[in-house]
Structure 1
Amino acid sequence: MTEKQQTVCAVIVTYHPQRGFLEELLQAVAPQVGGVVVVDNTGGEPMPPPTEVAGVEVVSLPSNAGLAAAQNIGIAWARRRGFDHVLLLDQDSLPAEGMVAALLGALSLLGPRTAAVGPRFHELREGRDAPFVRIGFPFNRKLHCSPGRETVPCDFLISSGTLVPMAVLDRVGVMDPELFIDNVDLEWCFRARAIGYELHGVCAARMDHRLGDARLALPLRLGHVVVHGPRRLYYMMRNRVRLYRLPHTPRTWVAQDLPRVLVKLFLFGVLVAPRMRNLRCMLRGLWDGLRGRGGTGPYAA
C-alpha cells in the first residue's frame, strides 16, 4: 500500500448484510486503504466485528437512520482520525485489486476542480459494464470506456466506489440526510457541479456490483424491470420531487425525469404486484415531495 492510500478511509454502509459478501468486500478493500469503518443501519443487536479482517471499526446504529445519515456518520469518523479522503461503498460492491490506487492517481492528475472520481463498475447480474452519464434532453448520453481513454467526464457518480477528498466535502457539504435513501448521490453531485466542480469516471479503476433487487420480465415482451418494494418506491418518488425543487438541480434533468414518473406509475401501479400498495406508496411519495417532507417516511405508507 502506498503512502497516499493510507490517507483514504473506506466508509461502508450496511443494512441486513449477507455476512459472506461483507467479509469478501472487507478483504478486498482493507489492503487498499488506511482505515475502514462499517456503519450498520440494521438496528437491533450490534453487528459483531468481522472475523476475517483486522482493523475494521463497526458503528452499529440503534435504528435505520438512512443511507445519507449513515454516510455522514462514517465521514465524521474518518475526519476525526485525520483521513484526507473517503471512499464510499455499499455492501453489494466488490472493488477490484488496485482500484483505490487508480482512483487516487486519476484524482491527482485531474486537479483541484475535481469533486470526486468513481470506478467503472461491472453489473454482475446483467454481465455488463455500466456507462458513465452526461445529462441531456430528451435522453442522457451514455459514455463508455474505450482503448486509450483514461477518464470520462460525467454529471454524476453512483455513491458506491466514489472517492472524495475531505477538502471537497468541506466546501460542497456532506450528504443530505433529509433524502434518507435514493438520489442521495445524485443530489450531492448536482450540488458539487453547481459550484463549478467536475466529476470523472476512471477507466482503470474497476468494481463489481451486485444489485440486490430482483428483475421481473414484463408482459407483452416489454422487457425487464428492476423490482422495488412499496416502501422503496415511496422514497424514489418523494426524493425526485424534492430534487425538482432544489436550485442546484439541472433543469434539463428535471425535464427528462418527469416522464419517468408516469412510466413508474404505470409499471408498478399496473404491471408489477402488489399493484395497489405500490400505487398508494408512489402517490404518497409524490404528495410528500410536493409538500417538502424529508427524513424517515411513513413505513406503512
Structure 2
Amino acid sequence: MTVNTGLVTVLFNSESVLPGFFESLSKQKMQDYWLFIIDNSLDDRSYVKAQELIEQYGFKNVTLIHNASNVGVAAANNQGINLSLEMGCEYVLLLNNDIEFNNPGLLGGMLALADARQERMIVPKIYFFDSGKIWCAGGVFNRWIGTTNHTGEGEKDAGQYDKDGYTEYAPTCFMLIHRSVFDTVGIMDEKYFVYHDDTDFVWRAGLAGYKVYYWAAGQVWHKVSSSTGGGTSPFSIYYGHRNRIYFIKKNFSPIHKIVAFTYFYLTRLLKWRLFTKKLFSSFYRGTRDGLKMKP
C-alpha cells in the first residue's frame, strides 16, 4: 500500500501522554498517511496503551513496533523514516507524542502548503502545553557557542510571530520533511542517541541548501521534556553536555570550535556549584564521553 505521508513517533514511557496524542490524530480530516509508532520503553505499558488507543479510535494504517531495548530517539526515528521511504511516502512527518493539536485541518493544510510552495521542510508554531506561551516560532543556530535559540520562547502570543517565512533552525518534534531531503542529507546520526540529533540533521540540511519554512497558522502544543525527566535530570544533564560537545566537534570550523569550547568550559566553571553530587557526576561523565566521541 502506498500513502502520501509517513508519520513517525517514538515512545519512551509515554503512556500518560498518548491519549491526547491519539485524540488529536483521530480528529484530522486528512487520512492519507501511515502511522509508525516505535516504542523504546523498557516495559510494555506504553505499548499496551498504544494498542488500546489504536483500537479505541479505529486506526487502520498503523505499524506498532516494540524494540527489545532502548535504541535511542535517533535510531528509532530512523526506523520509522526508513519504513516510510520503503513504503513510497513522499513526505515524512516526525512528531513527538507529547504534542497535541486541535485543528482538524492541520495535517492537510501542512501538506497542501508543501505542495503549493514546493517546500521541503515545514514546521508550525509550537506552544508550551501548560502555560500556552510560545515555545518555538522558528529559531537560529549560535555558531559561536554551539547552541540553538527558539524564537519567541516564553512569550505570550500577541501575533508578533504570525508571519510565515524561512527560519534557520527548528526542532523536529513536529516537522514535515520531503523524501528528497533524506536522499540528499541522510537520516539521523544515531551516535547522539537523544538530544542534538535533530539539531545535527537540520544543520546538515542547511548546508545542503534546504530551508525550513515556518508556518505560523499551524499550531501545536508541546508537553516539553515529558519523557526525560526535565532539563535538569541526570539523564538530560549527561546527554545534553555529551552531545553538545559532539555536535561542536563534528560540525564547527576550527575557529568556531575554539570559541565554543572556551565558552562551554568557562560557563561550566560558573555553574558547577549549582550541581548536586548526582548531577555533577552526570555532567562530568557527559563531558568526558563527549570528548571521546569521534565524528
| TM-score bin, normalised by smaller chain | 0.7 to 0.9
For residues 116-131 of structure 1, what are the structure 2 equivalents within 5 Å?
Answer: 116-130=121-135, 131=137
1:58 aligns with 2:64: yes
**Distance in 2, Cα, partners of 1:238 & 1:45:** 29
Residue 283 of structure 1 aligns with which residue?
Answer: 284
CA contact (8 A) 2:249 2:257 kept: no
Structure 1 length normalisation: TM-score? 0.78
Q: Which residue of structure 1 aligns with residue 20 of structure 2?
A: 24
Change beyond 3 A, Cα 1:257–1:58? farther
- Look up the SS of the partner of 1:168 in the other structure: helix
- Worse overlay, 205-214 or 78-87: 205-214
Distance 2:168 2:262 in 1: 18
After superposition, residues 185-200 of structure 1 pair within 5 angstroms as 185-200=198-213
Q: Deviations over 1:126-160 (max 9, x none)?
A: 33112321335779776458479542321221111
Q: Distance in 2 between matches of 1:284 and 1:7?
A: 43
Q: Identify which range, 65-74 or 145-154, moves more after superposition.
A: 145-154
- Output aligned runs, 1:238-257, within 5 Å: 238-247=242-251, 255=259
Pair 103,285 (structure 1): closer, same or farther in 2 beyond 3 Å = same
8 Å contact kept, 1:124–1:208: yes
Listed as ranges, the matches of 1:21-170 within 5 Å are 21-30=17-26, 31=28, 32-33=30-31, 34-45=33-44, 47-48=47-48, 49=51, 50=53, 51-53=55-57, 54-55=59-60, 56-97=62-103, 98-111=105-118, 114-130=119-135, 131-136=137-142, 143=151, 146=159, 149-170=162-183
Evaluate the alpha carbon distance shift between residue 72 and residue 155 of structure 1 in structure 2; reply closer, same or farther with a 3 A threshold.
same
Relative to the length of structure 2, the TM-score reads: 0.80
- Deviation for aligned residue 1:260: 5.6
- What are the superposed Cα offsets for residues 45-73 of structure 1, whole Å, 9 maximum, x if unpaired? 48232332322321110110000000001
Q: Aligned partners of 1:118, 1:279: CA distance in 2, in Å?
A: 35
**Offset from partner CA, 1:51-108 (integer Å, 9 cap, x none):** 3232232111011000000000111221222211111111211133222223223323
* Paired residues, number: 272
**Superposition RMSD on alpha carbons, in Å?**
3.1
Can you give the 5+ residue segments of structure 2 that lack an aligned partner in the other structure? none
Residue 232 of structure 1 is matched in structure 2 by 236
User: Once structures 1 and 2 are overlaid, which stretch shifts more, 163-172 or 48-57?
Assistant: 48-57
Distance 1:212 1:241, change over 3 A: closer
Contact 1:265 1:282 in 2 (8 A): no
SS in structure 1 at match of 2:35: strand
Q: CA deviation at 1:169?
A: 0.9
Partner of 2:4: 7
- Displacement of 1:244 in angstroms is 0.7
